[in-house]
Amino acid sequence: MFGDINIKYIYGVVESNNRLYILLDIDRIFGARTEEDDEDTPKQDIRPVSHAVNAQESVAAKPAVTSPAPAAAAPVEEKKVSRKDDINYKFVCESLKSFRKFNVSFVNEKWTENRFNEWEKEKGEGKTQLQNESDADVFMKPFYSRCNATWWTKEYADAVYKALPENSAKQISVWNPGCGKGYEAYSLACLLKKRYPNARIRIYGHDIDLLSVSNAPLINLPANVASDWYAPYTTKTVNGEATFDKSIKDMILFEYHDCVNTNALPVVDIIFARDIVSFLPLESQNKLIADFGEKIKGNGIVMLGDNESLAGKDKWVEKATGSVMAFSKQ
C-alpha cells in the first residue's frame, strides 16, 4: 500500500512499542488543503521590519518569543497605510528590480515599505525616484544581513548559536543555498560542531556563481579572523596560512546548483538562505519557498535574511531568539 506513496505525503515516522507508524498528511493526499485555504487562514503577525536595525545595534540575548503574539515593536515609525497603490512606491520597486534584481514580495514588502517611507523623508516627496544604480545601492544598503559575504563576527555567531534548536539526531543536514565563497557554510559548520558535538553534520552549500563555489573548498582565513572565534576549528597549511581543519571541510559539500531547479537533497534540519529569496523573480521565490516547505523536517528551521520573513505564508511560524529570527512549519 505504501510502496508507491510519494515522500511528500509522509508527515512523519514514529516508533512506539516496537511498532513503526508512518504518519500520512491526509489533508494533502486528499487535496483538502489548498492554496486558497492557506491564504484564508489568519495571517501571523509579522515583526516590525526594522528589528534588523535594532539587531545591528544590540545583539544582547532577549527572551525567546514565539508568534502569533506580536513582538515588541522596534522604534521606527511605520505608515499604517499600505504603499502598494502609491505610484512613486511602485516606480521605486520597478527600479530596484531593474537595477539590482530585487523583487518586492511578501518576503520583504514590510522592509521595502518602511524603507521607502524613510527614503521619502530623506529625499522629499516627489523626489523619490531611483535615477541610477548608485541610488539603488543607497536605497538597498540597510537591507543586507549582518556579516553578509564576509566572515562572521563573534557577536553574530553567538546570536545564531543561541537560535539553533535542540536536536538529538545522529545526523544533522543543512541546506545553504547562495553560499557564495563559503563564508556562511564554514561559519555554520563551526557553530554546528559546537552545538551538536555528537552528531554527524552535513552542509550542502549551493551557488550559481561557478567561480565562487569552485574556490570555496580551497578557502583560507585571514590571520585576524583565524585568531577570533574560528580558532578552535582552524589549522595551518604548509605555507603558514590558516585554513579550516579536515573535520570542518568534510562536513561541507559545495555544489554548482541553481536553487530554483530540482535538487536531490534529502530532508534537512536547517535551511540557511540569507538575502537570496528577495533577489529571485516572483515565480521562483514561490517555487523556492515551496521547496523549503518540502525539504524541511517537521522540527526544522529556516533562517532568511535579517529583513526577510516567511511569517504569514503557508503556515510558517516565526520564532525570535535574540536578534535572530527562525521560521518553522506550524
Nearest to 97 by CA among 83, 108, 86: 108
CA 53 to chain centre: 17
Position 117 contacts another protein (CB under 8 A):
no
Q: Tell me which residues in 24-83 interact with another protein (CB under 8 A).
A: none
Q: At its nearest, how many Å lie between another protein and the CB of residue 233?
A: 21
CB of 266 to another protein, least distance (A): 6
Q: Identify residue 259 by its one-letter amino acid code.
A: C
Of 212, 209, 213, 231, the C-alpha closest to 222 is 231
Stretch that binds another protein, among 24-32, 69-77, 255-263, 298-306 (CB under 8 A): 255-263
Q: 74 vs 208, which CB is nearer to another protein?
A: 208
- Select the span of 31-39, 187-195, 260-268, 320-328 touching another protein (CB under 8 A): 260-268
- Residue span binding another protein (CB under 8 A) among the ranges 55-63, 148-156, 256-264, 296-304: 256-264
214 is a site residue for another protein (CB under 8 A): yes
Integer Cα distance of 272 and 203 in angstroms:
10
Amino acid of residue 52: A
Using CB under 8 A, which of 249, 287, 315, 329 touches another protein? Answer: 287
Q: Which amino acid is at 123?
A: K
Residues with Cβ < 8 Å from 114, sequence gap 6 or more? 48, 49, 50, 76, 78
Does residue number 238 form part of the binding site for another protein (CB under 8 A)?
no
262 binds another protein (CB under 8 A): yes
Alpha carbons 311 and 283: distance in angstroms, whole number? 18
Cα angle 202, 207, 208 (rounded to 5 degrees) comes to 155
Residue 13 contacts another protein per CB under 8 A: no
Residue numbers at the binding site for another protein (CB under 8 A): 6, 208, 210, 213-214, 216-217, 253-258, 260-264, 266, 287
